[in-house]
Amino acid sequence: MKKLLLIILTLIIATSLTVDKPAYLIYNSAGKSNKYQKMIKSCAKADIILFGELHNNPICHWLEFSLTKDLHKAKSGNIILGAEMFESDNQLILDEYLSGLIKERNFENEAKLWNNYTTDYKPIVEFAKENELTFVATNIPRRYAALVNSEGFEGLDKLSDDAKSLIPPLPILYDENLPCYKNIAENIGMMPNKNTLNNIGKAQAVKDATMAHFIYKNFKKGNTFIHFNGRYHSDNFSSIVWYLNQLDSTLKITTISCVEQDDIQSFEEKNKGIADFIIAIPSDMTKTY
pLDDT number for residue 46: 98
What pLDDT sits at residue 188? 64
CB proximity list for 287: less than 8 A, separation 6 or greater = 56, 57, 58
Res 13 pLDDT > 50: no
Tens-digit pLDDT profile for residues 181-229: 988 866 665 555 556 777 999 999 999 999 999 999 999 999 999 999 9
pTM of the predicted model as reported, rounded to 2 decimal places: 0.91
The rounded percent of the chain whose pLDDT value lies above 90 is 87
pLDDT in tens, 228-251: 999 999 999 999 999 999 999 999
Regarding predicted confidence, which is higher, 6 or 279? 279
User: What phi-psi label fits residue 222: left (phi over 0), alpha (psi between -120 and 50 degrees) or beta?
Assistant: left
Per-residue pLDDT, 20? 81
Q: Give the model confidence (pLDDT) of 126-164 as tens digits.
A: 999 999 999 999 999 999 999 999 999 999 999 999 999
Beta 277-282 vs 79-87: how paired, if at all? unpaired
pLDDT at 6: 46
Beta bridge partners of 81: 135, 226
Question: Which tens digits make up the pLDDT trace of 105-126?
Answer: 999 999 999 999 999 999 999 9
Question: What pLDDT score does 185 carry?
Answer: 64
Query: What is the rounded average pLDDT of the residues 52-68?
Result: 98
Q: How many Cβ atoms are within 10 Å of 282's Cβ, its own excluded?
A: 18
Q: How far is CA 174 from the centre of its chain?
A: 21
